[in-house]
């Protein structure tokens, strides 16, 4: 049986991506579930991997990237999943240390699979993908730290990105007042449709903190940008606020002071969807099912096919993509 895959190969000039045919014998043999993959998506990590602009892949080449997949089980050596069942795979090293979702068929490890929730079609599940899961985990974290008062304003940075779009949507549907920070001048209508009450230019935050404790503007934050933006957000977060730190699209370094933590009781809470334990992962998908509608998902996504992934990845890293990119395998 032959099927298509986007394959990364290492050669004298670096890493190149091409769509080629594989057989079942080409797939890794250490997974216990064989999945007929129908959709995947492009996340920031995928874009870095496909364009080789960041060190994401920690496995030998040739390599099949794609940190997300959905599809039906063809064969299973796991008692948990059975042929015909629809499953979602995200994280657990998929597309980083193990071959991922950009293939018509993939062999994966059952411990990182969850059943496709009834609320979603396979297509919708991959519009959500790792980005939506990360935003849902961030929402759950804010709630855990008690940032849930009526009218609490939460700032979302990198708001038009995949994680950012879901953060704006989920927070607004959960009753928060959302301020959306973006570098895109034409994004107001898109962000307001997602539920943002205020749209601010990212320049307001990207210069970093003007002082260790700035005037309090936010009850909390979902930060996908990191670096100086996160530094500014920490200094502007009010008493007992919480910041869910989940990204580094703008920088990985963080310089701050202890004052927001010891004088305002601010919590900086890290999010890692990749290693997120199964019960929390399941809770996040349930939360997504209760908050988002099919129409909202379609509005925030565009669809590409395997040969288009490389070009779309470059556009994503160049800041030209709004929302989520679904991959139809
Ligand atoms: N912790 C986790 O589990 C987890 C999971 C998924 C993703 N992430 C991380 O979250 C981040 C976003 O991922 P994504 O998939 O949503 O990517 P994405 O769709 O490309 O979104 C990133 C957004 O960040 C903003 N941005 C880009 N470059 C920037 C810069 N230099 N300075 C300030 N803002 C910038 C842009 O939004 P605007 O144009 O609206 O400003 C862009 O749309 C990435 O760092 C990714 O690695 C983490």
pLDDT for res 113: 97
Q: Which residues of the chain have pLDDT under 70?
A: none
pLDDT (0 to 100) of residue 13: 83
Cβ < 6 A, ligand 1 pocket: 43-45, 130-131, 134, 158-164, 182-184, 202, 206, 224-225, 246-250, 271-274, 316, 319
Dump pLDDT digits (tens) for 86-116: 999 999 999 999 999 999 999 999 999 999 9
Given this model, what pLDDT does residue 237 score?
98
In eight-state DSSP terms, residue 141 is H
CATH topology of domain 2-116+296-328: Quinone Oxidoreductase; Chain A, domain 1 (3.90.180)
Residue 112 tokens read as: 């990182």
Ligand 1 atom 39, closest CA: 183
Q: Give the pLDDT of residue 298.
A: 97
User: What is the pLDDT, as a whole number, of residue 73?
Assistant: 98
Pocket test for ligand 1, best of 42, 96, 224 (most atoms within 8 A of CB): 224
For residue 51, the model assigns a pLDDT of: 97
Query: What is the Å distance from ligand 1's center to 163 Cα?
Result: 7
pLDDT value at residue 148: 74
Q: What are the φ/ψ torsions at residue 268 (nearest 5 degrees)? A: -105, 110
Short-list 304, 260, 67, 52, CA closest to 163: 67
**Model-level pTM?**
0.98
Show Cβ contacts of residue 280 under 8 Å, excluding neighbours closer than 6 positions: 137, 140
Residue 95 CB neighbours (<10 A): 32
Domain 131-270 has CATH 3.40.50.720: yes
**Atom in ligand 1 nearest the alpha carbon of residue 187:** 40
Give residue limits of the domains in the chain: 2-116+296-328, 131-270
**Nearest atom in ligand 1 to 91's CA:** 3
The protein residue with its alpha carbon nearest to ligand 1, atom 33, reads 250
């Amino acid at each position: 049986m032959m099927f298509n895959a986007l394959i990364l190969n290492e050669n004298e000039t670096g890493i190149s991506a091409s769509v080629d045919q594989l057989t079942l014998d080409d797939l890794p043999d250490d997974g216990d579930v064989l999945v007929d993959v129908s959709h995947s998506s492009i996340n920031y990590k995928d874009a870095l991997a496909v364009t080789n602009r960041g060190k994401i892949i920690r496995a030998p080449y040739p390599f099949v990237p794609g940190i997300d997949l959905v599809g039906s089980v063809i064969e299973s050596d796991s008692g948990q999943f059975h042929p015909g069942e629809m499953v979602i795979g995200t994280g657990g090293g998929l597309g980083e240390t193990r071959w991922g979702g950009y293939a018509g068929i993939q062999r994966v490890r059952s411990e990182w699979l969850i059943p496709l929730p009834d609320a979603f079609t396979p297509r919708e599940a991959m519009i959500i993908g790792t980005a939506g899961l990360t935003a849902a985990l961030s929402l759950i974290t804010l709630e855990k730290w008690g940032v849930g008062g009526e009218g609490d304003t939460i700032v979302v940075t990198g708001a038009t990105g995949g994680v950012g779009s879901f953060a704006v949507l989920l927070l607004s549907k959960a009753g928060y007042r959302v301020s959306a920070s973006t570098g895109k001048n034409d994004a107001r209508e898109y962000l307001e449709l997602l539920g943002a009450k205020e749209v601010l230019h990212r320049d307001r935050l990207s210069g970093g903190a003007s002082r260790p404790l700035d005037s309090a503007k936010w009850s909390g934050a979902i930060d996908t940008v990191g670096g100086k933006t996160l530094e500014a957000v920490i200094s502007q977060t009010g008493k007992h606020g919480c910041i869910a730190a989940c990204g580094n699209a703008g920088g990985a370094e963080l310089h701050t002071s202890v004052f927001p933590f010891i004088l305002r009781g601010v919590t900086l809470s890290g999010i890692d969807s990749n290693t997120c334990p199964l019960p929390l992962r399941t809770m996040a998908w349930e939360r997504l099912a209760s908050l988002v509608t099919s129409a909202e998902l379609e509005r925030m996504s565009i669809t590409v096919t395997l040969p288009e992934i490389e070009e779309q990845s470059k556009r994503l890293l160049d800041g030209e993509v709004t929302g989520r990119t679904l991959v139809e395998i």
